[in-house]
Structure 1
């Protein structure tokens, strides 16, 4: 199954991109790096520049129907940039409209808030997003991982890089359920 990883041109937290990427690949899925433009993206390790990664597809050439799931890595700048891009917001909404799993870690739920996809859902995030999520109608909880099965589709969220093991395990469980269905 193809799994979209949506990232901005710069600002993604490197471990929140690479660890779920490796987990999906090792489970036999095909991760696809989607961004707003065709240039390599610049990852960060907190505030320091990390590695660069080649973009596989741009938002202009991508359709949620072509993927089984969406992963939204964090980093402060990454979701802040994406939530200001109407195509990125619509891309996220497309996964929910089709009932496909969406996984977001750390600051990535900012994009879910902008897409109006947290209302009546239980999720977690980096603690500084707590008020934004609650103001958008979501139920924020401080937990390593939350899986919300409420309609319109499964939502997997985690707080931070320390939660990546739990995040990846929950993502792979949802991918297996989605594949079996």
Structure 2
């Protein structure tokens, strides 16, 4: 299965990109780095610059139809940038409209709020997003990983880098079931 990893040109939390990416590879999937601009993205280790990664596809030139699922890594700046990009928001919303599975960790649900796809869903995130998610119609829970299947697709969410092992195991399993 081709899995889109949507990130901004800079600001993604590196471990929240690389660990899920490796989990997808290990499960036999094809991860594809999608961003709003071609070239490379700049990852961060919290507030410090980390590695750069080559962009495979550009938002606006691809659609959810080309992928079996979507992973949204976190980092504070990453989803904050994505939610201001109309094409990125439309790309995310397209996965929900097509009923394809989505996984989001840490601050990534901010992009889901902007896409207006959390209403009536139960999810988790970095705690500072709880009010934003509630205001957007979601139920926020403080759990390591949460699977919500209320709606047209399954949504897997986690709170933080410490939850990555559970997040990766869960989204890989859910994506495999959905591909089944």
TM-score range, shorter chain: over 0.9
Match in the other structure for 1:119? 119
Which secondary structure does the structure 2 equivalent of 1:61 belong to? coil
Q: Does 1:83 align with 2:118?
A: no
Structure 1: state its 5+ residue gaps.
Answer: none
Match in the other structure for 1:60? 60
RMSD: 0.5
Question: Distance between the aligned counterparts of 2:145 and 2:170, measured in 1?
Answer: 8
Structure 2: state its 5+ residue gaps.
Answer: none
Match in the other structure for 1:172? 172
Which secondary structure does the structure 2 equivalent of 1:18 belong to? helix
Aligned length: 180
Which secondary structure does the structure 1 equivalent of 2:33 belong to? strand
Question: Distance between the aligned counterparts of 1:146 and 1:175, measured in 2?
Answer: 14
Question: Distance between the aligned counterparts of 1:17 and 1:27, measured in 2?
Answer: 16
After the TM superposition, list the runs of 4 or more consecutive aligned residues in structure 1 that deviate by more than 3 angstroms.
none
TM-score in terms of structure 1 length: 0.98
Match in the other structure for 1:135? 135
TM-score in terms of structure 2 length: 0.99
